[in-house]
């Protein structure tokens, strides 16, 4: 999720755990801990694909964050008076501020390596867009009030309400995804190799669906406001022959693993480009990596490069138009 959401989530869950007298302190510490895992973006892993696929790795692993939470709590219990005064509430405050970060990230399309160093692909439940105001706003309001009026009971109640509302909204996204996936299964005419569904930008009502087949993929959109409307799928070539020629390239293997196989191959300016089909939309994917250069008749591996991405206003207009059109 976006940084603001992680900050207010960490602040909220930390503040709600501790006694009234320490809520402001816990909110500040929780905000810091809530954003701490994302500092791995400062690490250069060597090239663009490595930076892309090692992000949300060790710093988001429950196997790392749980022990770190215990060590941090033990240190603060010896050195920080508020923790000395209420050790167990602070234990839960510190632990929740850290582990809710990767658990929320796992709800996005990007995915999160919750069980690093295990080599299983990142977990991507893809129930919520990376920025969703309906999830963030209740947490933001509760956090601001507890920072401004930490001694007020009504501020604490607002904080609790914010957590309940945001958590309830997150639960709703699971229900929405289940409804979408069931509708997709009923809409497909031919069996699929894999299906990926994810909400479109800033909402959980309009969903984008990608269906993989052996040599092509389909893209379609489904609005929960129009549940009876069939999904209109468009088909696109995976360029499987070119992908097969690059299977020995480490970056391609890494991207295939990271995306659960949801990639396509194209040629741009004599470079082989791998696109992540899960994020963006056809013609404007967010993550496109050049991994090889075509030097006829050979394909030569290069140090991977991330191609520029520009937000297309037409994509946002499409979302708005689809959600607001008459049923």
The answer to whether residues 73 and 217 belong to one domain is no
Please give the mean pLDDT across all residues of the chain.
95
The answer to whether residues 156 and 20 belong to one domain is yes
Confidence check: pLDDT of 56 > 90? yes
The answer to whether residues 67 and 135 belong to one domain is yes
The answer to whether residues 120 and 210 belong to one domain is no
The answer to whether residues 225 and 164 belong to one domain is no
Which of helix, strand or coil describes residue 221? strand
Gap between the Cα atoms of 277 and 281, Å rounded: 7
Range of the domain at 83: 3-175
Q: Look at residues 75, 72, 78 and name the one whose alpha carbon lies nearest to residue 94.
A: 72
The answer to whether residues 55 and 131 belong to one domain is yes
pLDDT band at 184 (very low <50, low <70, confident <90, very high): very high
Q: Look at residues 229, 209, 234 and name the one whose alpha carbon lies nearest to residue 322.
A: 229
pLDDT of 86 reads: 97
pLDDT band at 172 (very low <50, low <70, confident <90, very high): very high
* 248 found inside a domain: yes
Q: Which helix (H) or strand (E) holds 264?
A: strand 263-268
* 208 found inside a domain: yes
The answer to whether residues 246 and 119 belong to one domain is no
The answer to whether residues 7 and 136 belong to one domain is yes
Number of domains in the chain: 2
Other CB atoms within a 10 A radius of the CB of residue 247 amount to: 9
The answer to whether residues 9 and 105 belong to one domain is yes
pTM as predicted: 0.94
pLDDT of 187 reads: 83
* 80 found inside a domain: yes
* 181 found inside a domain: no
Gap between the Cα atoms of 39 and 37, Å rounded: 5
SS3 letters for 279-293? CEECCEECCEEEEEE
Domain boundary among 142, 175, 208: 175
Q: Look at residues 294, 242, 231, 286 and name the one whose alpha carbon lies nearest to residue 265.
A: 242
Which of helix, strand or coil describes residue 297? coil
Segment 298-327 mean pLDDT: 90
Residue 11: exposure state from Cβ atoms within 10 A (0-12, 13-18, ≥19)? buried
Query: Token pair 């059109």 is at which residue?
Result: 325
The answer to whether residues 197 and 169 belong to one domain is no
Strand order from edge to edge, sheet including 263-268: 263-268, 271-276, 288-295, 298-306
The answer to whether residues 72 and 21 belong to one domain is yes
C-alpha torsion sign, points 77, 83, 88, 89: negative
pLDDT in tens, 290-300: 999 998 778 99
Confidence check: pLDDT of 326 > 70? no
Cβ atoms of 283 and 266 within 8 Å: the answer is no
* 285 found inside a domain: yes
The answer to whether residues 164 and 40 belong to one domain is yes
């Amino acid at each position: 999720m976006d940084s603001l959401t992680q900050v207010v989530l960490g602040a909220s869950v930390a503040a709600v755990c501790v006694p009234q007298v320490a809520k402001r302190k816990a909110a500040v510490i929780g905000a810091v801990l809530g954003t701490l895992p994302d500092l791995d973006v400062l690490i250069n892993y060597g090239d663009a694909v490595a930076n892309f696929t090692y992000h949300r790795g060790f710093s988001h692993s429950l196997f790392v964050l749980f022990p770190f939470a215990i060590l941090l709590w033990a240190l603060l219990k010896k050195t920080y008076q508020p923790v000395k005064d209420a050790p167990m509430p602070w234990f839960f405050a510190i632990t929740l501020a850290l582990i809710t970060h990767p658990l929320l990230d796992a709800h996005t399309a990007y995915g999160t390596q919750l069980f690093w160093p295990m080599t299983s692909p990142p977990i991507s439940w893809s129930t919520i867009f990376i920025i969703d105001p309906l999830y963030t706003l209740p947490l933001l309001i509760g956090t601001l009030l507890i920072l401004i009026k930490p001694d007020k009971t009504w501020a604490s109640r607002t904080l609790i309400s914010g957590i309940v509302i945001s958590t309830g909204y997150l639960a709703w996204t699971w229900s929405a995804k289940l409804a979408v996936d069931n509708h997709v299964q009923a809409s497909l005419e031919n069996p699929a190799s894999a299906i990926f569904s994810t909400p479109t930008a800033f909402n959980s009502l309009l969903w984008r669906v990608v269906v993989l087949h052996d040599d092509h993929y389909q893209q379609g959109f489904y609005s929960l406001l129009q549940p009876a409307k069939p999904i209109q799928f468009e088909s696109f070539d995976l360029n499987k022959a070119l992908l097969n020629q690059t299977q020995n390239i480490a970056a391609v293997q890494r991207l295939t693993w990271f995306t659960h196989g949801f990639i396509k191959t194209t040629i741009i300016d004599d470079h082989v480009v791998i696109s992540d089909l899960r994020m963006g939309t056809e013609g404007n994917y967010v993550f496109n990596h050049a991994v090889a250069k075509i030097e006829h008749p050979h394909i030569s591996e290069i140090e991977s490069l991330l191609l520029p991405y520009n937000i297309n206003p037409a994509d946002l207009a499409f979302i708005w138009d689809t959600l607001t059109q008459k049923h």
